[in-house]
Structure 1
Amino acid sequence: MKSKLGVTFAVAGAFAAGIVAGPMVGAVAQEGSRAETYRLLSLFGDVFGRVRAEYVETVRDRELVENALNGMLSGLDPHSSYLSPRNFEDMRVQTRGEFGGLGIEVTQEGGYIRVISPIDETPAARAGIRPGDMITHLNGNTTQGLTLQEAVEQMRGERGTSIRITVRREGEARPLELAITRDVIRPQIVRFRMEGNDVGYIRVTSFNEQTETNLRRAVQTLRNQAGTNLRSIVLDLRNNPGGLLDQAVQVTDDLLDQGEIVSTRARRNEDAQRWNARSGDITGGIPLVVLINGGSASASEIVAGALQDHRRAIVMGTRSFGKGSVQTVIPLGSGNGAIRLTTARYYTPSGRSIQATGIEPDIEVQSSRQDNSQQASAQRERDREQDLRRALRNEGSNATQAAPPPPPPPMNLPQATLDRIQRQPPEGFPSLDPTKPETDFQLQQALVLARSLGPAPQRRAQR
């Protein structure tokens, strides 16, 4: 008994000392007395000691502590988490633009793993993984009860090894079994091409350290190819799960001449931040059409929201995911990993918080045919931030003054142009395939709009 008590109080004392010495004690003390804080830490130490001494199998101390950290952070919101040393290194590699695994962006919902978006031209995308798929089993073992990090770690592995994934998909009566072979993921995060001789198309699939550099290269190449014929650009952010905040700011800065890009508001007023555009639009003011959908999240919503608020672009597609929170990665020292902690909400230039609401397009265009039934309407509203367990609420309604509504489309579009844009694909239209414009209905309609903007190529060439 003496040994068990020694472990209990040693652990409790260690945790208490860490918090007293660290910056968190003030925040904890605000919710109650310091004595209450010590009592709760003693409770943690008692449970730790009992599990360590009496669990049916021997458990490593590190495993117990990491599980406790996972529980503490994942219980806050869907995006806060503990990163083990291995996961922390994987995250750093991923943000540099290369990592190993399946090529899939996931979150946690209802105890299972839900797909936000597969990355283009990766094993997950080639296997047919879709946004909204619920991953219920990995190699026949349920994902129920796994933390998000544990599930991600199982999906990663050496190139050439395979994994069996069971997914539950809306509209499918039976679960789908998919065998996927892992690969080194080097996603081409910015793709571009000319559509005809007058419209440039740029697709951005994520925001890592290479995004802004590649966007500049894409715009310059398109302008060199088309010359004075370049009438407008379609910026495709569909199924872009986001990434680095600074890259979203730099990309938006590239497309604006002036004005606010985004602001963040944290728990303390003094931690609020604001980013403004510098002079210089790399497109030379060419009209923009931005495509978004329910898989457009976080950094991609920052870009779309800023361009919409400044009337720099017409936003087309369907409502975005609605992730309006900022996560800060805080290293915990050598060999201890890091925590990813939600530290702020972000706001578009007009003061809108899109947390759990998303960006509403200026012109709604569906990717697949929908009827007006209640079931179809409910399906359109699923699989977004607001549906995630413990998602942060939108605090716009608590402000002293309501945030202004999204602005109207940035140009006085003729009614004839609006009449040409179809909101739903016709009966029998092929499924979405972003690699083939002829089967991508939303892109087709974006091109109709893009060709109605700006001067005709012939007139521009004469100037």
Structure 2
Amino acid sequence: MKFAALLRSAALVTAVALIPATTATMAQVDGRAGPEFAKLFAVFQRVKASYVEPVEDDVLIRGAIDGMLAALDPHSAYLDGGDLQRLETMIDGNYSGLGLSVVMEDGAVKVVSPFKGSPADKAGIKAGDFITHLDGTLIYGGSLDDAVAQMRGPSGTSIKLTIFRPGRDEPVEVDVTRGVIELEPVTHELGAGNIGVITVNEFSADVGADVFSAWQDIKKEAAGRVAGLVLDLRNNPGGSLDESVALADLFLTDGRIVSQRGRARGETMLYDAETVYRGDMAEGVPLVVLINAGSASASEIVAGALQDHRRALIMGERSFGKGSVQSLLPLGPDAALKLTTARYFTPSGKSVQEGGIKPDIAVPQISDPDFALRQKYQTRESDLRGHLINELGIKDEEMESDSIADPRFQLTSAQLEEQGVKDFQLHYAMETLRRTTKSTVALRPAKR
């Protein structure tokens, strides 16, 4: 039942769109592949007969499947057991653990991002950290399922994490007490000067409706008219394609939001404004969207749509650059294939694959004492082994930012802390909105 519910809700743009098992996109095996299958079977038989220890059939078959998909791109995968449970948790769930989004990268467990307010977040674990040991036991080279299972556990129990932080010479050891993690995809607050802030941590179910509700709450809390709104999509790795469309639709009155183009019939789809919500819910209110290198996929769809329509000023750092769509293909009652089936494009026809979304105003997170080191070792889609190539052929140097020091961003993290600024990017966005008028780019209509 849970797996069926998961499939019904999984139109994800980490990206994942659901395709029934009976779809015509399940290609027939080319007859010319027969000799290649013979090679595969020959290897299987030789390993079974000659390997130094007995090997179960399911181990070899799973290894062959994983290797086949790994040869395609970093995002295609076979999902069962713990993998499907993690996907279910991402969509709608809660669990006892540390509150970390992690991936396996070259045999190492890498932190994509800690959930805001989670035990991991409070313990100071940061995006980009590599977890090498759990309670003193090396986990490098093991499975992601095993590592996640060890990190989860009863609320109130603790675990010691040994972390390699790029740029640091010595590993960091952190004791983290597990807690009940209730995923909170949308949070909001009202800042000084009647500037609203809505943070979207992931694109799980009902995010569009949750953002709409948050906006209504902000208007009630404001003493008079809301002067501006910050939509914070930093470190948001993506999620539901439908919810990314719904969120962008909240701020647009017409026009294209995103298009996806694939090789198979039915994989080319267009998504327009006014499909989910009618009108701009915050009409007349200046909007800033915050992104960084952790903003991927669904986050980039929203940022790209609002940027192309000139509805928002995009601020922060260049996004991750994941411009592909994965389809979830059921394989029986408790397994599925997550397969890359399409690329997506912003309203102007731009693919964010590799290049990402470039902010209108680049604002570094100088309140982070590790910012310089983190930038040096930052990982984006273009750094992943086997990533899809941008169809437009954009050269790497054209995606790099210049190295000229900006006089606006010369304060140190210690100096900012003395001023009470803990999040410089958010602070800068709110200060910008306090000075914003209706003639600014954040409200300028796109040329038709």
In the alignment, structure 1 residue 359 sits paired with structure 2 residue 357: yes
Task: Sort the Cα spacing of 1:353 and 1:40 in 2 relative to 1 into closer, same or farther, 3 A.
Answer: same
Deviations 1:181-223 (A, max 9, x none): 4433212221111112421111111110132222111000111
In the alignment, structure 1 residue 275 sits paired with structure 2 residue 271: yes
Task: Sort the Cα spacing of 1:25 and 1:355 in 2 relative to 1 into closer, same or farther, 3 A.
Answer: closer
Aligned residue for 2:315, secondary structure, equals strand
In the alignment, structure 1 residue 135 sits paired with structure 2 residue 118: no
Task: Sort the Cα spacing of 1:220 and 1:259 in 2 relative to 1 into closer, same or farther, 3 A.
Answer: same
Distance 1:424 1:252 in 2: 30
Task: Sort the Cα spacing of 1:257 and 1:89 in 2 relative to 1 into closer, same or farther, 3 A.
Answer: same
Distance 1:70 1:160 in 2: 36
For normalisation by structure 2, the TM-score amounts to 0.81
| 1:70–1:147 contact (8 Å) kept in structure 2 | no
| 1:109–1:389 contact (8 Å) kept in structure 2 | no
Q: Which residue of 2 aligns with 1:124?
A: 120
Aligned residue for 2:421, secondary structure, equals helix
Matching residue within 442, 445, 448 for 2:425? 442
Cα drift, residue 24 of structure 1: 7.9
Cα drift, residue 139 of structure 1: 4.4
Matching residue within 77, 84, 87 for 1:91? 87
Cα drift, residue 264 of structure 1: 0.8
Distance 2:409 2:58 in 1: 54
Q: Which residue of 2 aligns with 1:251?
A: 247
Distance 1:424 1:209 in 2: 37
Cα drift, residue 97 of structure 1: 3.9
Distance 1:118 1:422 in 2: 31
In the alignment, structure 1 residue 306 sits paired with structure 2 residue 305: yes
**Computing the radius of gyration over CA atoms, which structure comes out larger, 1 or 2?**
1
Distance 1:68 1:351 in 2: 37
Distance 2:415 2:299 in 1: 26
5+ long unaligned stretches in structure 2: 1-21, 400-405, 440-448
Distance 2:69 2:336 in 1: 12
TM-align CA RMSD: 3.3
Aligned pair count reads 405
Q: Which residue of 2 aligns with 1:291?
A: 290
Once the two structures are superposed, the pairs formed by residues 219-238 of structure 1 within 5 Å of their partners are: 219-226=215-222, 228-238=224-234
Deviations 1:247-281 (A, max 9, x none): 11111111111111111111236521110010311
Task: Sort the Cα spacing of 1:288 and 1:262 in 2 relative to 1 into closer, same or farther, 3 A.
Answer: same
Matching residue within 348, 353, 371 for 2:346? 348
Task: Sort the Cα spacing of 1:128 and 1:164 in 2 relative to 1 into closer, same or farther, 3 A.
Answer: same
Distance 2:374 2:149 in 1: 33
| 2:167–2:373 contact (8 Å) kept in structure 1 | no
Q: Which residue of 2 aligns with 1:413?
A: none
- Between Structure 1 and Structure 2, the one with more helix by share is 1
Distance 1:210 1:245 in 2: 12
Q: Which residue of 2 aligns with 1:14?
A: none
Cα drift, residue 153 of structure 1: 4.6
Distance 1:22 1:223 in 2: 45
Q: Which residue of 2 aligns with 1:186?
A: 182
Once the two structures are superposed, the pairs formed by residues 15-34 of structure 1 within 5 Å of their partners are: 26=27, 28-29=29-30, 34=31
Deviations 1:414-436 (A, max 9, x none): xxxxxxx974151354689xxx9
Cα drift, residue 230 of structure 1: 0.8
Task: Sort the Cα spacing of 1:179 and 1:192 in 2 relative to 1 into closer, same or farther, 3 A.
Answer: same
Q: Which residue of 2 aligns with 1:453?
A: 436
Once the two structures are superposed, the pairs formed by residues 16-415 of structure 1 within 5 Å of their partners are: 26=27, 28-29=29-30, 34-35=31-32, 37-146=33-142, 148-149=144-145, 151-226=147-222, 228-268=224-264, 270-278=266-274, 279-335=278-334, 337-368=335-366, 379-380=375-376, 382-397=378-393
Distance 1:431 1:206 in 2: 28
Q: Percent identity?
A: 43
Task: Sort the Cα spacing of 1:423 and 1:172 in 2 relative to 1 into closer, same or farther, 3 A.
Answer: same
Q: Which moved more, 1:282-291 or 1:159-168?
A: 159-168
Q: Which residue of 1 aligns with 2:13?
A: none
Deviations 1:124-153 (A, max 9, x none): 212221111123334445444345555445
2:80 maps to a residue whose letter is S
1:441 maps to a residue whose letter is F
| 1:366–1:424 contact (8 Å) kept in structure 2 | yes
5+ long unaligned stretches in structure 1: 1-20, 407-420, 457-463
Cα drift, residue 347 of structure 1: 0.8
Distance 2:328 2:26 in 1: 20
Distance 1:213 1:422 in 2: 40
For normalisation by structure 1, the TM-score amounts to 0.78
